[in-house]
Amino acid sequence: ETGVTQSPTHLIKTRGQQVTLRCSSQSGHNTVSWYQQALGQGPQFIFQYYREEENGRGNFPPRFSGLQFPNYSSELNVNALELDDSALYLCASSLQGAAYEQYFGPGTRLTVT
């Protein structure tokens, strides 16, 4: 069984730029959720994807967007990066209807300068 993987591991971007983060879900899982974890904080829910559509969104602006592909992998896109976007971005996969078992990837550390 393959666990959740994310790429890249680390990323440095400049304010105003755009970034794309990638996530491959655990084998057999059809639902992907993205979380933002700022330094010293708990993860905050960004959005969830199921059947290639957004299926719930947290309190994040529209410049945070995503995609899910037929193989259930997912992308998180952030436009017009701000300094406060610096964080660890975590992807979690689960089965729809079994969100009580979400398994997280190692995360992507984004630094915006």
Partner 1 sequence: GEDVEQSLFLSVREGDSSVINCTYTDSSSTYLYWYKQEPGAGLQLLTYIFSNMDMKQDQRLTVLLNKKDKHLSLRIADTQTGDSAIYFCAESKGNTPLVFGKGTRLSVIA
**CA 61 and chain centroid, separation:** 14
Binding mask 57-76 for partner 1 (x = CB under 8 A): -x------------------
Q: Which of residues 94-113 bind partner 1 (CB under 8 A)?
A: 97, 99-107
- Min dist CB 107 to partner 1, Å, is 5
Distances, alpha carbon 40 to alpha carbons 33, 102, 104, 113, in Å: 21, 22, 18, 19
Q: Beta strands of 9-83 (E only): which ranges?
A: 10-13, 19-24, 31-37, 44-50, 53-57, 64-68, 74-78
Tell me, by CB under 8 A, how many residues bind partner 1. Answer: 25
Q: Which of 24, 25, 36, 43 binds partner 1 (CB under 8 A)?
A: 43
Q: Which of 56, 63, 77, 79 binds partner 1 (CB under 8 A)?
A: 56
